[in-house]
């Protein structure tokens, strides 16, 4: 049997997503938490492209394109927020960010 079942791709996507979720929960460095969010987005993209390929439809790839755009915008704003937090707190440890008012 040639080829790979789509289930394998979905399984890999799920594993990557869970690693990303675990990273968000475990790590305290705000930058690493942010990277884990990127990993989760990437896992979702992999599932999109896998289903796009198996259904022979391009809509999934268009969605991945939009997700990448949103991720780029999110990274720009998120890193700006982290820099702003670092300026006021002198740290990017998320445990120390416990006040709404800086």
Q: By CB under 8 A, tell whether 97 contacts another protein.
A: no
- Considering only residues 3 to 22 of the shown chain, the ones binding another protein according to CB under 8 A are 3-12, 14-22
Residue 29, strand partner residues: 93
Among 12, 15, 8, which residue's Cα sits nearest to residue 54? Answer: 8
In the bound complex, what is the minimum distance in angstroms from residue 48's beta carbon to another protein?
9
The tokens for 8 are: 């394998």
Q: By CB under 8 A, tell whether 37 contacts another protein.
A: no
Q: By CB under 8 A, tell whether 79 contacts another protein.
A: yes
Q: By CB under 8 A, tell whether 88 contacts another protein.
A: no
Q: By CB under 8 A, tell whether 56 contacts another protein.
A: yes
Cα-based torsion angle of the residue sequence 11, 12, 14, 19 in order, rounded to the nearest 10 degrees: 140
């Amino acid at each position: 049997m040639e080829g790979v079942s789509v289930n394998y791709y979905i399984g890999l996507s799920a594993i990557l997503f869970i690693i990303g979720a675990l990273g968000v929960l475990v790590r305290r460095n705000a930058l690493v938490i942010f990277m884990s969010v990127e990993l989760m987005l990437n896992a979702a993209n992999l599932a999109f492209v896998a289903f796009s390929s198996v259904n022979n439809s391009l809509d999934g790839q268009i969605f991945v394109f939009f997700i990448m755009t949103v991720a780029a915008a999110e990274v720009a704003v998120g890193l700006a927020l982290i820099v702003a937090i670092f300026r006021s707190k002198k740290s990017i440890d998320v445990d120390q960010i416990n006040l709404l008012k800086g």
